[in-house]
Structure 1
């Protein structure tokens, strides 16, 4: 490619009856000026193109980085979502197991309480029956005619002297030491 300097330094042979030297020089000056302007613009445009190519390369690199980042973010989001789902399922299973366990424990406790209540009712009924029998026995003793004649003195029982009060206290002591026992046992003890 010709440079403006090539055009400016170009010399032509002189010939008789040729072109006017002044006109050729003026024209060449215009051509040089125009060509120099075009040449500078061309260099500027090449520099701009190079700069734009660098920018394009930068943006392509950035685009690749963004795409990789986006892919990584999507992958991470998916992994996080899956992890959260699995964690949630695990927590849900643990909560269900724990609630089932608590329900079973509560049912067992209710059953034990019901058993205790039933046992206490049975003990209460046995105590009532024993007390009723004891009171009937005492009432029968007081109703006997010879009871009043005894003057609340000692009674001989198998070569042993005890008072009615001592016998009553012994019976009560025996009842409290043994606990409330079955009515039939109490009755058979009394009848003996």
Structure 2
């Protein structure tokens, strides 16, 4: 049991002969009491300071643990955010690449489609142009044959014999001679057309003929011979003669 200053103060010693001086012993005990009290007070202060320091140490330890926990939580959150951001960026990159690939593919397909359509149109136009040229050549050849036959009729010597002064030929005779001449020329024109099967076949496939020529061709197909006289030169015959 630890002695207190009061225990030291109340302590009594027995006296003997040749013992210590009572006054000196009491004075010394008083001094010991004071020093001991000072020591106790100082020790109490140190204990209080130690308790305060221990409290602060505990506080800082708790704060350190809390900070460490917060750091761990923040690190985990940062790692999650980083991982999510990386995943989102990868998804965005993949979607962007897919969209760009789709756009390029669609543009390529449209371009190819446009090129194919343009090529088909160009080929079709070339075929139509070639057919038109062939039809035009056939038309020109037929027109040339028809005009040449008409010109041969005009240049025929039969006209001179029929139309010479003093001739007594009737209208029916002139008509018969002219008709026979035109029929012969028409037969020659048909033979000339038959000698060119490619042109005729093309004309059959693509008939491109103007309206006046079509009328002339229809007249030829029907076997009719049309003779056109100038208004001023058309002969008039008296049926009585």
Provide the TM-score with structure 2 as the length reference.
Answer: 0.56
Which residues in structure 2 correspond to 1:77-92 (within 5 Å)?
77-92=78-93
Q: CA RMSD in A?
A: 3.1
Report the Cα distance in structure 2 between the residues aligned to 1:133 and 1:21, rounded to whole angstroms.
Answer: 162
TM-score for both structures, normalised by structure 1: 0.68
The answer to whether the 8 A contact 1:129-1:183 is kept is no
- Mind listing any 5+ residue stretches in structure 1 that lack a counterpart? 148-181
Q: Figure out how many residues of one structure are paired with residues of the other and give that number.
A: 159
Residue in structure 2 matched with residue 96 of structure 1 by the alignment: 97
The superposition leaves residues 101-123 of structure 1 with CA deviations (integer Å, 9 ceiling, x where unpaired) of: 12221111111111121122123
**Does the aligned pair in 1 maintain the 2:5–2:33 contact within 8 Å?**
yes
Instruction: Name the counterpart of 1:185.
Output: 205
Once the two structures are superposed, residues 17-59 of structure 1 have per-residue CA deviations (whole angstroms, 9 ceiling, x without a partner) of: 3211221122112111211111111101111111111111112
**Displacement of 1:8:** 2.2
Higher CA-based Rg? 2
Matched-pair contact (CA < 8 Å) for 2:9–2:30: yes
For 2:132 and 2:93, locate their aligned partners in 1 and report how far apart those are by CA, in whole Å: 57
Q: 2:30, 2:65 → 1: CA distance?
A: 51
Q: Distance in 2 between matches of 1:111 and 1:105?
A: 10
Displacement of 1:85 in angstroms is 1.9
Hey, what does 2:196 align to over in structure 1? none
Query: In the TM superposition, what is the alpha-carbon distance from 1:14 to its structure 2 partner?
Result: 3.5
Name the structure 2 match of 1:53: 54
